[in-house]
Amino acid sequence: MNHRTILQEISILDLPGLHVGHAQNTTAKTGVTVLLFDQGARVGIDISGGGPASRETPLANPETADNPVNAIVLSGGSAYGLSASEGVMRYLEEHRIGCPSGFANVPLVLQSCIYDLGIGDANIRPDAQMGYDACANAQIPCTDPSLLQGNVGAGIGATVGKICGMERADKSGIGIHAVSIGPLKIAAIVVLNALGDIFNPETGQKIAGLHNEDRSDYVDTRDILYQMFTPTDLFTGEEKSGNPVPLPSTNTTIGAIITNGNFSKAELCKLASMTRCAYARCINPVGTMADGDSIYAASIGKIDADINMVGTLAAEVMEKAIQKAVSI
């Protein structure tokens, strides 16, 4: 039996208690995507990139208190974009959502950012109001879940294949894919903003990334990277010797797996690390020092399921989300 015959594609909004909202500045080409959890979520994380911009990620550490996370924020703006969580905090506080502390309910909000400052206006970044607006938009009933992906929210400034500059890169965005297998539901959302090229892992075909100079064909990013024998700072585009190299620094792929499976934070960290296999199958090169590649794994249900099965499925669902991020 083909395993796909027992998988049913569903909407990400079929996961109970999950809301997805976007806000963006179309001129500056930067935005915010918010995942809100009605009953909170247990969250783990895997960070494989060398330059992550993040907020409150220690809450996903199994050694920290097991308090429910109220929201995960994905944004542009690099570290400047972390301001968006202030608006998410304000929205949640206004709705009396958060961890009881005796004097106030303190919302628990995690965030990761992509570097999109070189795409639009670097002086305009996601701010508190944009984070607030994304939360408000998440509460508006969505009649067409396909509108939640593409060139929206945190994906509005996302691109791939940028090692030779934006003129030879491809536009990408947000990809979403969700399936059910019996009572288990699992969804992936990804903001695809990679230095490397994007591949269909089933065929090995390159589907997005670096082009040649006249954009008539694709070029393998690895061929360019392998010429950089001298240590190179991928952020500044300079060799450590001081010689300039035509490199942009607009990378990082961030995403999340959400499931109604019942897992501990330690197990969710393992699920996130297993999901990273999707990055390796679909993006090459990946996880460089100029990337901040991060994956959250969130549990919002009580369905008992085998972690090995769910981790393998999570990677496959994330693969589909990555491919959708360059095909919509």
Q: Which residue has the tokens 């628990």?
A: 108
Residue 237, pLDDT score: 54
Nearest to 15 by CA among 272, 172, 233, 188: 188
Higher pLDDT, 136 or 237: 136
In this structure, are residues 162 and 117 in contact, taking their beta carbons and an 8 Å threshold? Answer: no
Please compute the mean of the pLDDT values over residues 237-257 and round it to a whole number.
65
Q: For residues 23 and 222, what is the distance between their CA atoms, to the nearest angstrom?
A: 34
CA 87/CA 295 separation, integer angstroms: 22
Is 10-324 a CATH 3.60.70.12 domain?
Answer: yes
How high is the mean pLDDT of the chain? 91
Answer yes or no: are the C-beta atoms of 292 and 112 closer than 8 Å.
yes
pLDDT > 70: percent of the chain: 91
Asked if pLDDT for residue 6 goes beyond 80, the answer is yes
**What pTM did the predictor assign?**
0.93
DSSP state of 238: E
What is d(CA 103, CA 263) in angstroms, rounded to the nearest whole number?
30
Q: What average pLDDT score do residues 229-250 get?
A: 54
Please, what sign has the CA dihedral across residues 307, 308, 309, 313? positive
Which pair of tokens denotes residue 73? 């924020």
β 69-75/30-47 pair status? antiparallel
Whether residue 171 is predicted with pLDDT greater than 80 in this model: the reply is yes
Average pLDDT over residues 313-320: 98
- Which helix (H) or strand (E) is 268 found in, with range? helix 265-282
**Domain chopping of the chain, boundaries:** 10-324
Report pLDDT digits (tens) over 38-92. 999 999 999 887 778 899 999 999 999 899 999 999 999 999 999 999 999 999 9
Q: What is the largest CA-CA distance in the chain?
A: 63
Q: What is the spatial distance between Cα 73 and Cα 90, in angstroms, rounded to a whole number?
A: 14
- The helix (run of H) or strand (run of E) holding residue 112 is strand 109-113
